[in-house]
Amino acid sequence: MKKSIKFLLAAPLAAAIAAVSIQATAQSDQSYATYITEEQWQMVNELPGVDRQIVSRDIGKLNLSVGIIHRNAVARASGVDNENPERPCGVTSSNRHSGARGIMHIYQTETYYIASGSGTLVTGGEILNGNASAPDSNVTNVLNGPSCSGLIVGDWVSKHVKEGDIIIIPAGTPHGWLEVPVHVDYLSVRPDPDRVLADDYVNPALGSDFEIKTQ
């Protein structure tokens, strides 16, 4: 029997992500807040591409990033991609395919907040005939650290998610979209305890006037 993904239902989260306020306690020179306005993350979301990092900053014990992802309509996957991957990862056989292509981040947990749209999200299981992210890729260096992408198989679960929902995806958990009828946009809060991403990254679209450090 499929199990539902557990949701953390917290009404103030939408506003909290729209104006992210982080206070670090590890070191005094890191006890400042970073604010991201709704207009700023929406502007980044209008950029070309699918997944865009907004900011990443050192908060003492770990780095913390926030990204924005836009996906157009997605249909069920047919067949198996990456039968001869350049950088093999994941498993090589399985008798339970999800029909969803996805990715697994080795070190990074993600918390999704669905800002608009809806779809069916698959989590868990394993990646079949996966391809590891290249060491010099945007995924590895800016977005999520070392990752493995491919068809999700094995002991996976699926859940319909919609605007306002929140999903926590632990590091090492494959995740991907089985179906997206029209589109889905979601903010992703990304703790980086192993510091695999650069400190204090700012999306270039925010411009030189963006202040990552605000007392």
CB 168 within 8 A of CB 114: no
Bridge partners of 130, per DSSP, are 89
166-196 pLDDT, tens digit per residue, is 999 999 999 999 999 999 999 999 999 999 9
| Percent of the chain residues topping a pLDDT of 70 | 81
pLDDT confidence of residue 31: 73
Q: What is the mean pLDDT of the chain?
A: 85
In this predicted structure, the answer to whether residue 136 has a pLDDT above a threshold of 80 is yes
12-53 pLDDT, tens digit per residue, is 444 444 444 433 333 445 678 899 999 999 999 999 999 999
Q: Among 101-105, 144-148, 159-163, 197-201, whose mean pLDDT is lowest?
A: 197-201
In CATH terms, 13-206 corresponds, of 1.20.1090.10, 1.20.120.140, 3.40.50.300, 2.60.120.10, to 2.60.120.10
Residues 6+ apart with CB under 8 A from 63: 56, 57, 191, 192, 193, 195, 197, 199
pLDDT confidence of residue 198: 82
Give the residue with greater pLDDT, 83 vs 122. Answer: 122
Ordered by start, the domain boundaries in the chain are 13-206
Residues 6+ apart with CB under 8 A from 170: 109
pLDDT confidence of residue 208: 79
Once rounded to an integer, what is the mean pLDDT over residues 69-78?
A: 88
pLDDT confidence of residue 163: 98
Bridge partners of 188, per DSSP, are 67, 112
Distance separating the N- and C-terminal Cα atoms of the chain: 50
pLDDT confidence of residue 199: 81
